Amino acid sequence: MNMKRTTALLTLLIGISSLAGQAENQPAQRPFAPAKDLISLHYDHAPDKDDGHSAAADRTLLQSLYGAYWISKHVVPVSGAYGKNAKHFDRDSDAVMDAAWKNCCGWLAAHTSREAVVNELAKTWTKTIEAGGDVWVKEGGQSDITAAVVERIKKQSPAIDTATRIHVVQHSNWNEDQTTDTALAYTKKHTDYIRIRDANAYLNKKGGNDAFVRAAIVHPTFSAAWKAAFTYYDPEQRLDFSDTGELMHILGLGEIGFDEFAKRYLENIEEKTPNLTS
């Protein structure tokens, strides 16, 4: 009997240990809720130009799913979300950010007004959380700004549990390595920090993808954003919007490659009716 009990206990402990290990790789505590949540899109633009392609892809994806008006209420794009790599910021990226976001929800320029951007983000994130929503950070760059915003919120609104209400999605070892060490540690401690598989595995192609580019530049709604992105970073050199893999994860779409992305969001030009019931 004792042997049986010991075996049963050991099996239970192994099962618990296994579940604990799996939990580290699980998505955030609850799915994205489009009716009340906020997405903070962070681009470093320092030095890789893939953020330019990601800005166009993010706009395409979000507007196709939820519409332009929804974006104006639930999305805040940020440029200059860099860390140790600050000196490599590419000012030419401003043209892409304008093309992708200026006529929709606008965007925040952290490179020129970092303190003001931190204040604005802290205000916007807090407003979302106090209204019952969560904040989702697409960490396309480094976590220095994220850490600064979270710290500001904790000081100004200590009742907010940032570890459960702010979800940060990161896919890149390089982005983490370029984040100031203290900022990365702070972000991991005080947010729901989610690491996903590096999206370069399926959203980065040297030499580009001619069919994708053709579909993007003739699209009646998104062509301006894609043309600006392709002027900034020649797709014949490389087509890369790997940071959009984080947005796909937030939205619960899984991993969507170039061909499927084009089929869903570029070749089908009929804008869908937003589903905001979640």
Indicate the residue type of 190: H
Rounded to the nearest angstrom, the gap between the alpha carbon of residue 274 and the centroid of all alpha carbons in its chain is 20
Judge contact between 173 and 198, C-beta under 8 A. Answer: yes
Q: Which tokens in the block code for residue 229?
A: 């992105």
Judge contact between 49 and 231, C-beta under 8 A. Answer: no
Q: What is the number of other CB atoms lying within 10 angstroms of the CB of residue 112?
A: 13
CA distance 30 to 184: 23
Task: Render each residue's pLDDT in the chain as its tens digit; 278 residues.
Answer: 444 444 444 434 434 344 444 334 444 468 999 999 999 999 999 999 999 999 999 999 999 999 999 999 999 999 999 999 999 999 999 999 999 999 999 999 999 999 999 999 999 999 999 999 999 999 999 999 999 999 999 999 999 999 999 999 999 999 999 999 999 999 999 999 999 999 999 999 999 999 999 999 999 999 999 999 999 999 999 999 999 999 999 999 999 999 999 999 999 765 555 667 65
This prediction's pTM: 0.88
CA distance 107 to 222: 17
- Looking up tokens 């992708």 gives 100
State residue 268's pLDDT score.
72
Judge contact between 163 and 192, C-beta under 8 A. Answer: yes
State residue 30's pLDDT score.
87
CA distance 190 to 192: 7
DSSP letters along the chain, please? -HHHHHHHHHHHHHHHHHHHHHHTTS--SS---TTT-EEEEEE--SS-THHHHHHHHHHHHHHHHH-HHHHHHHEEEEE---STTGGG--TTHHHHHIIIIITTT--EETTT-HHHHHHHHHHHHHHHHHTT--EEEEESS-SHHHHHHHHHHHHH-TTS-HHHHEEEEE--HHHHHTS-HHHHHHHHHHSEEEE---GGGTSEEET--HHHHHHHHT-TTTHHHHHHHHHHS-TTTEEE-TTHHHHHHHTT-----HHHHIIIIIS--SPPPP----
